[in-house]
Amino acid sequence: MPLSDFLLRLGDDRLINGHRLSEWCGHGPILEEDIALANISLDLVGQANLLLELAGKEEGQGRTADTLAYFREGTEFRNALIMELPRGDFAFTTTRQFLVSVFDALYLERLQNSKHSDLAGIAAKAFKEVRYHARHSADWMLKLGDGTAESHQRTQASVDELWRFTGEMFEMDALEIDLVEQGVAVDRTALREAWRAEVTRVFQAATLTVPDDGFMQRGGREGRHTEHLGHLLAEMQIVARSFPGAEW
């Protein structure tokens, strides 16, 4: 089912990104930020729940959001690689969130007009939430980039490390091109300029350098992941797999 495959991509991006953020719970640099990271995580996991539930419904084989989240193998996940990279230090987490949230806001703003009405509704809700994520992470990019020598260095290093994972967010394939033609999905390539402009504007204010586009990592949409996803899934899925059907 092409539509459910597409919904898995959207759902998995948020599930894996949300899980990485949840790892900060109890470890945030200050209490307010601990709470903020947990809240952003909650928004993303909530969006993933709605999207995966819809994916299961469109697939029509009785799979729910829970079965999709907890009982798939790594090779069946369709998230972009940038989502699964280990959380790193606070600068790394913040930089990833900023790069992803700006993309997400641009994408969801357009996905609100999808001809698939449930998807349009989920996107409209998620868009409002992600605007807060983008603003919040942009605030931190300014504080860290234009902060101390150490915070600047750590943030620029994170930007340089993450940049080669940003290309995958804009990748289109036959599946999504077809869904764009049907008015269901959004053309990712068309968002590149707007994303770059927004990122550049914030980086300039944050005294950070925008890297040149070079080699870009890819593979997540086809289930080719980094080694890090397996470790993440082991932790995320262990309880559901050890006690199938458990309720709490």
The neighbour count for residue 186, using CB atoms within 10 Å, is: 21
Shortest distance, position 56 Cβ to other proteins, whole Å: 15
Toward other proteins, which CB reaches closer, 117 or 242? Answer: 117
Toward other proteins, which CB reaches closer, 12 or 43? Answer: 43
Q: How far apart are CA 22 and CA 7, in angstroms?
A: 22
Toward other proteins, which CB reaches closer, 52 or 81? Answer: 52
Toward other proteins, which CB reaches closer, 76 or 139? Answer: 139
Shortest distance, position 30 Cβ to other proteins, whole Å: 9
Assess contact for 13 and 57: CB atoms under 8 A: no
Shortest distance, position 216 Cβ to other proteins, whole Å: 24
Q: How far apart are CA 113 and CA 40, in angstroms?
A: 24
Shortest distance, position 151 Cβ to other proteins, whole Å: 18
Assess contact for 105 and 202: CB atoms under 8 A: no
Q: How far apart are CA 34 and CA 56, in angstroms?
A: 32
DSSP 213: P
Assess contact for 82 and 96: CB atoms under 8 A: yes
Shortest distance, position 54 Cβ to other proteins, whole Å: 10
Instruction: Point out which residues bind other proteins (CB under 8 A).
Output: 32-33, 35-36, 39-40, 42-47, 49-50, 102, 105-106, 117-118, 120-122, 124-126, 128-129, 131-132, 134-136, 138, 142, 198, 201-202, 205
Q: How far apart are CA 88 and CA 110, in angstroms?
A: 31
Amino acid at 17: N
Toward other proteins, which CB reaches closer, 70 or 132? Answer: 132
